[in-house]
Amino acid sequence: MTERVKVVTLGCEKNLVDSEIMSGLIDARGYHLVDQADDATVIIVNTCGFIDAAKEESVNTILDMAEFKQTGRLKALIVSGCLTQRYKKQLMEEMPEIDGIVGTGDFHHITDIVDEALRGKRPVKVGNPAFDYDQKLPRLVTTPRYTAFVKIAEGCDNACTFCSIPIMRGKFRSRSMESIVAEVQQLADQGVREVSLIAQDSTNYGTDLYDKFMLPELLNRVSEVEGISWVRLHYAYPGFFTDELIETIATNSKVCNYIDMPLQHSEDSILKRMRRPGRQRDTRELVSRIRASIPDVALRTSIIVGFPGETDEDFNRLCDFVREMKFDRLGVFTYSPEEDTPAVRLPDAVPDEVKEWRSNTLMEIQREVSKELSGKHIGKEIDVLVERYDGRSDVYVGRSPYDAPEIDGEVFISNCKAAIGEIQRVRITHAYEFDMSGEGL
């Protein structure tokens, strides 16, 4: 009987790409991929180990999947991803439910791991995380057919004191421009219209391969691929955000006026403890330059509250900063102490209940900012990528260039003439806190 394999993905979009490659390899081996875990004879859980909440979700998911050995058809439970890269010994010793593990630098060996596990062994393949994939590896895209994520680099060299990514993903490694463009061409040939470029540090792209910042050229090269309409940039490290990059986003019509740039904090003392680039003055100057060159840009950022040493005064100034900067999108994370990172040794830890209160307070401030900004597109004509039809309301639903897949707002369209996966010109008539509605043109 052909084995039936279910891949369960946790964590970020970079993990999703790894899962899609594993799915491609499994399919090429002749195994049958299934959608339902209770129908699978093999389950692969691709884990996240970034913060405590992600680790807990990963462990709970592993245990949930293991139950299908009693209630379903499951023969082998394989665990991959960041959690295995950090905790391979603990996982194999403390979770007998696991039949094999594979690390972040070895997932291209997934079919060998599956084969060995099905033969009754408990294979462990966790080595150096420095593997880099290219477009030659098979990949089964699991996002809607018109959009896909493209990993342009792996790992990180920035050594932020709170971050465990270098431990799990290794040093920063750019993919070659030729490999990225070739993959985008393959995706376009399959009907993809929107590509989101992802990396732990996208603005540093090219410095290791070409000895200079090459993200502007990469954006231009990707946008030249026939069939691609939108190119979206994620995880732009602020320390490497050059004027050339700003100009490229401003002048290239296919590059979305959307910048995902995690800042993590506003206060100089906290940024220094975090080992983040520059200081608040640099952030303000950068944001001013971006907005001056790209007036309709949508800026997304993320903030960490409760970092060791963050005082009430620091937090109050952070709140003032968020009110003043008026980011279009903002996510808030409570600091999670990660073993083997420098931040765990810092004094003046913030109590958990204070972290939670600060997180909720900052999100309430951002909600007020979002309400204030919600009407800025009313009366304008914008392009919308149509994603689905809502039969109950008799409207089509899509996303604007200012909204990334899964995490941002939607646009509800009446009188829509485009099909799913196509781009419709829309006049915005109403705006809500996160969503908009309009009429197709």
Sign of the torsion angle spanned by Cα atoms 413, 415, 418, 420: positive
Strand partners, 162: none
Cα separation, 432 vs 424, whole angstroms? 20
Strands 423-431 and 436-440 turn out to be antiparallel
Q: Are 173 and 151 in contact (CB under 8 A)?
A: no
> In a 3-state reduction of DSSP, which class is residue 154?
strand
416 is in an annotated binding site: no
156 is in an annotated binding site: yes
Q: Hey, how many other C-beta atoms are within 10 angstroms of the C-beta on 157? A: 14
48 is in an annotated binding site: yes
In the DSSP assignment, the letter for residue 65 is H
Structure tokens at 380: 């304008």
Find the Cα–Cα–Cα–Cα dihedral 282, 199, 421, 259, rounded to 10°. Answer: 0
Helix%, strand%, coil% for the chain, nearest 5: 40, 20, 40
Of 321, 391, 314, 412, nearest in space to 355 by CA: 314
Cα separation, 260 vs 254, whole angstroms? 16
In the DSSP assignment, the letter for residue 264 is B
Residue 296 identity: D
State in Å, rounded, how far the first CA of the chain is from the last one: 53
- HSE-CB for 359 with a 13 A CA cutoff: 18
Cα separation, 147 vs 403, whole angstroms? 13
Cα separation, 250 vs 257, whole angstroms? 7
Cα separation, 63 vs 112, whole angstroms? 23
Q: Hey, how many other C-beta atoms are within 10 angstroms of the C-beta on 354? A: 16
Binding-site residues, in ranges, read 12, 48, 82, 156, 160, 163
Residues making up the binding site for [4Fe-4S] cluster? 12, 48, 82, 156, 160, 163
